[in-house]
Amino acid sequence: MSLSKVKHIVLVLSGKGGVGKSSVTTQLALSLSLAGHSVGVLDVDLTGPSIPRMFGIEDAKVTQAPGGWLPITVHEADRSAGVASLRVMSLGFLLPRRGDAVVWRGPKKTAMVRQFLSDVFWDELDYLLVDTPPGTSDEHISLAETLLQKARPGQLAGAVVVTTPQAVATADVRKELNFCAKTGIRVLGVIENMSGFVCPNCSQCTNIFMSGGGEVMAKDFNVRFLGRVPIDPQFLVLIETGKSPRYPAGTSINGQDISSPTDAPAEGDETRDSALLVHKYRSCSLAPIFSTITADVVANVA
């Protein structure tokens, strides 16, 4: 069975599309591997698998071994740097045309999710993060059922729930929390993404949307609040194009100087190389926030 060498499985859920669930999955995976935990990402978001693009491995071709489909390596472990390996498997790799899965009907989606969980060969992993489709759809129910059947007792560590601060998003996420309660999936915590905008010029944080909705919801459901992640336009550039985040001289966030080093590669000199992603990620303003959130999740799982 493909999950037998995986220590902990963590689902990343959101009740609503576009709240940053895949971005959060990507950043949690990078933070975990930088903290020395080997990590795999399984992208079962059939509504539009975006994980390969975010890791810069869109054109990768998966191969089949006797044990199953082999995930794509984003980076190998570097013990001297305290970095563990990061591998990714996405439905996107298996689709002949992008967008194919979006038009599939329930039973076909369900069958695909089941096959996906059984047929990918994961080697030793500390964490497997599962990026799920938004909502409480057929895929969710199938995923929850399959995982609960296939996982060893305690292997499914729980779910990280992503929301944005606005009331509408949190109302959808409430459904997701109810879904976890019904299916017996433990909630590891709630992340409020896009919580304010940190201006790169003066580092002021402006709450464009309402702030604090995620924290209120976490309290209501008596689950952990893992923290707020602000909007950083440079993060969007990193995640969508693979380009290094650039901050003007003197930029600081939470009192920390994050201005880009003067020897950063010139614009246009950058390749979309997944092996470089980890270095680029380290220079993003959101990296320290995700590393705190990751440490909290790890402590909660252990």
Ligand X SMILES: Nc1ncnc2c1ncn2[C@@H]1O[C@H](COP(=O)(O)OP(=O)(O)OP(=O)(O)O)[C@@H](O)[C@H]1O
Which residue's CB comes closest to ligand SF4?
Answer: 199
Residue 104 has phi, psi (to 5 degrees) of -65, 150
Of 38, 193, 251, 285, the residue at the interface with ligand X (CB under 6 A) is 193
Q: Is 16 annotated as a binding residue?
A: yes
Of 103, 202, 249, 299, the residue at the interface with ligand SF4 (CB under 6 A) is 202
Of residues 218 through 237, those in contact with ligand X by CB under 6 A are 229, 231-232, 235-236
As given in the structure block, the two tokens for residue 89 are 């498997």
- Residue 249 sits in the site that holds ligand SF4 (CB under 6 A): no
Stretch that binds ligand SF4, among 60-68, 198-206, 281-289, 290-298 (CB under 6 A): 198-206
Which residue's CB comes closest to ligand X?
Answer: 17
- At CB < 8 A and 24+ separation, what contacts does 134-137 make? 134/14, 134/15, 134/16, 134/17, 134/18, 134/19, 134/21, 134/45, 134/47, 134/172, 135/15, 135/16, 135/17, 135/172, 135/175, 135/176, 136/15, 136/175, 136/176, 136/179
* Nearest alpha-carbon partner for 52 in 1, 105, 103, 93: 93
Min dist CB 15 to ligand X, Å, is 10
Q: Is 17 annotated as a binding residue?
A: yes
- Do the bridges between strand 68-70 and strand 63-65 make them parallel or antiparallel, or are there none, so unpaired? antiparallel
Min dist CB 36 to ligand X, Å, is 25
CB atoms within 10 A of CB 238: 24
| The amino acid at 147 | L
The number of residues making up the chain comes to: 302
Per-residue interface string for the shown chain with ligand X, residues 12-51, x marking contact by CB under 6 A: --x--xxxxxxx---------------------x--x-x-
Q: Is 19 annotated as a binding residue?
A: yes
Annotated binding-site positions: 15-22, 199, 202
Residues making contact with ligand SF4 (CB under 6 A)? 199, 201-202, 204
Residues making contact with ligand X (CB under 6 A)? 14, 17-23, 45, 48, 50, 134, 193-194, 229, 231-232, 235-236, 239-240
